[in-house]
Structure 1
Amino acid sequence: MSGYMRPETLDDALALLAQSGGRVAAGCTDLFPATAARALQGPVVDISRVAGLRGIARGDDGVRIGAATTWSDIVKADLPPACDMLKQAAREVGAAQIQNAGTLGGNICNASPAADGVPCLLALEAEVELASATGLRRMPLESFITGPRRTALKQGEVVTAIHLPHPALAGGSRFLKLGARRYLVISIAMVAVRLEVTDSTVSRVAMAVGSCSAVALRLPAVEAALIGRKANHTLPDCVDADAVADALSPLDDIRADAAYRTGAATELLRRAVADIASEGRAG
C-alpha cells in the first residue's frame, strides 16, 4: 500500500484508514511543522478531495461546518453575529496562505491549548461529528478534546463536521487574544464571548478562555454573574478576577507566568463584553 493516499469519497477514506492505520491529512499546516523528518512518515490519508467535507450549511437545527472547511471559507461565509468571534479568530490564524490551507477540523484535532478556533467553538456549544467504517457518532467539543494534543478520536475515525446548534446562534460575539505581536504568534491568552440580551438585560452568556490551561475552558461561574445585568457600560465590571482565576489552571511557560495569564484573561473578557454591549449586537 502506498505511503500517501488521496481518496475522493468518505467511504474510500475510511477503508484506507482502517487498512493502513495511517494519519489523516487535510491542510497540513499543523501536521508538517510537527514532523521532525524532511517528509511525513508512515501511511498518510489525505482527505482534502473528499466530497462533502468542505463547506458551510445552515438549516433549521443550526449550522454544519465541514471538517475540511478552511479559515478563508469561514471569513467569507454568511453567518449570524454569534459567529463573528469565529470569523475574527479565522483572520488571525497565521498569514493568508495558512488561512487558505488550514482547516477547522485540523485545528480541533491538533488540540493545542492555543488553538484559536476552540474557545469560539466552545462558546457556540459545538458538537463534533466523527465517522468510521462502523458509522457516525457525535459528541460535545469539550468531551472531544481530552488534553494537550489529545482527543477522543479512535483508530480509523475521522472528523467529518462541526455542528453549531440553533440555540447557540443567538446574540453577539467577540474574540480577542494577546500575544507578543499582532499576527503569526502563539497567544498568551485568548477569549471568546457570546452575549444574548433581552430588553436591555443579559439573558444568556457563553465565555471560553484558551492558552491559559491545558485545554480551553468555559467559565460557567463567570458567565452566571452576568445574567440579569443591564447590558451597559457597567457590565464588564461583573467579570470578577477571582472567579476567572478559580476557573483556570494557568500555564507557566516562556511566554508568560500563571499570574500574568490570569490577569490578561480577565482583562480580555472585560474588553470583549464591553465591545459587544457597546455595539448593540447582542439582541
Structure 2
Amino acid sequence: MFLQPASLHAAIDLLAQHGGRLIAGGTDFFPGLAQAPETRPVINIAHLAELSAITLGPDLIRIGAGATWSEIVAAPLPGSFDALKAAAREIGSIQIQNRGTIGGNLCNASPAADSVPPLLTLDARIEIASARGLRTLPLADFIRGNRQTDLATDEIVTAILVPRAADDLATYFLKLGTRRYLVISIAMIAIALRRDADGAIADARVAIGSCSAVAQRLGDLEKVLIGCRTVSEIAAAVKPGRLAALSPIDDVRATATYRRDAAATLVRRAIQDCFAKSGGA
C-alpha cells in the first residue's frame, strides 16, 4: 500500500493508524528493496512543504527534515554550517543531493552518515512529532547504534534545530574514501573552533564518523585543544590515546587498524586547517 498524505498532520494520523515506512527522497529506501522487500504501508512525505523549510530564527536555526542536500548547500546559513555544506556536497551524485534529505540521512542511522559529525559539533537537536505531540532530544541521543534510533514507530522527524550560539564557530569537514566522489566514507571528521581575542582556541569540538557504530565527539581531545595557539601545539595535542574511544571495524572498505591510523592523521589535518581558516597561525 502506497500512501501520500496531503499534510504533516495527515501523515501523523496515517502513521498512528496504520504504521508503515516513511520515505522522502527514497535514496536509501529503494536500493534497500533488493535485500529486503517492504511489506508495510509506504507513506510518502517528500512533497510536504512543512518539512522542507529552512528558517533562521533569533535563537535557533531550523532545518526541515525534508530539506534536500542541494537546498542546504544553497541556503544562506551562517559560516558555522560550512562543514555541513561540505558534507552535503560529497553525499552521492548531484542527483542524490537533489533528492536525498537530511532527515532521511539521520533516520537511516548509518555509521557512515556524513551529516552526523558536522551536526554533532553544532549541538544539534532533533524535533520529533507524533499524535502525542512534539518532543526534542540531542542528536547524540537520537542515534543509538548502527541503523538504530530513538524514533518510535508512530513518530516522524520534523526538523533539526541548531542554536544560534554556534554562529561564530569556524567549521571544517574532511572525508576519506576509496575515491574522491560517490563513495561511502572510510572515516570523516568535523571540526568546530572558536578563538579568543588573543588567538587561542577557546572552544573546540571534534566529531568522527565511520570509526564507531555511532559517530561521536572526542571530549578528551577537545579539552586539551583549549588554549592552543599554534599549529605545532595542535599537532602535539592530537595523540593516539585521545582517540581511544573509537571502535572501528574491519569491512570491505578498510581495516580497523587503517581506520584508526587514518583518523588520527585526518583529525590533526582537519583541526590545523580549521585553525588556519579561523585566522590562526
Query: TM (normalized to structure 2)?
Result: 0.95
Corresponding residue number in structure 2 for 1:170: 168
Corresponding residue number in structure 2 for 1:224: 223
CA distance in 1, matches of 2:97, 2:72: 9
1:7 aligns with 2:12: no
Q: 1:196 aligns with which of 194, 198, 203?
A: 194
TM-superposed deviation, 1:76? 0.6
Once superposed, which parts of structure 1, at least 4 consecutive aligned residues long, lie more than 6 Å away?
none
TM-superposed deviation, 1:198? 0.9
CA distance in 2, matches of 1:174, 1:271: 10
CA distance in 2, matches of 1:162, 1:281: 29
Contact 1:8–1:51 at 8 Å: present in 2 too? no
Corresponding residue number in structure 2 for 1:252: 250
Contact 1:202–1:231 at 8 Å: present in 2 too? no
Q: 2:56 aligns with which of 37, 58, 67?
A: 58
Map 1:1-283 → 2, pairs under 5 A: 3-36=1-34, 40-199=38-197, 200-244=199-243, 246-280=244-278
CA distance in 2, matches of 1:253, 1:5: 37
TM-superposed deviation, 1:254? 2.1
One-letter amino acid matched to 1:274:
Q
For structure 2, the 5+ residue unaligned runs are none
Contact 1:32–1:40 at 8 Å: present in 2 too? no
> 1:9-62 CA deviation, whole Å, 9 max, x = no partner?
111000111111111010000111111279754301111122310021111112
SS in 1 for 2:48: coil
Contact 1:197–1:231 at 8 Å: present in 2 too? no
CA distance in 2, matches of 1:53, 1:110: 17
CA distance in 1, matches of 2:123, 2:249: 24
Q: How many residues align?
A: 279
CA distance in 1, matches of 2:249, 2:36: 31
SS in 2 for 1:161: strand
Query: TM (normalized to structure 1)?
Result: 0.95
TM-superposed deviation, 1:144? 0.5
Report the aligned-residue RMSD.
1.5
Structure 2 vs 1, CA of residues 19 and 116 (structure 1 numbering), >3 Å: closer, same or farther? same
TM-superposed deviation, 1:275? 1.1
TM-superposed deviation, 1:273? 1.1
Structure 2 vs 1, CA of residues 14 and 281 (structure 1 numbering), >3 Å: closer, same or farther? farther
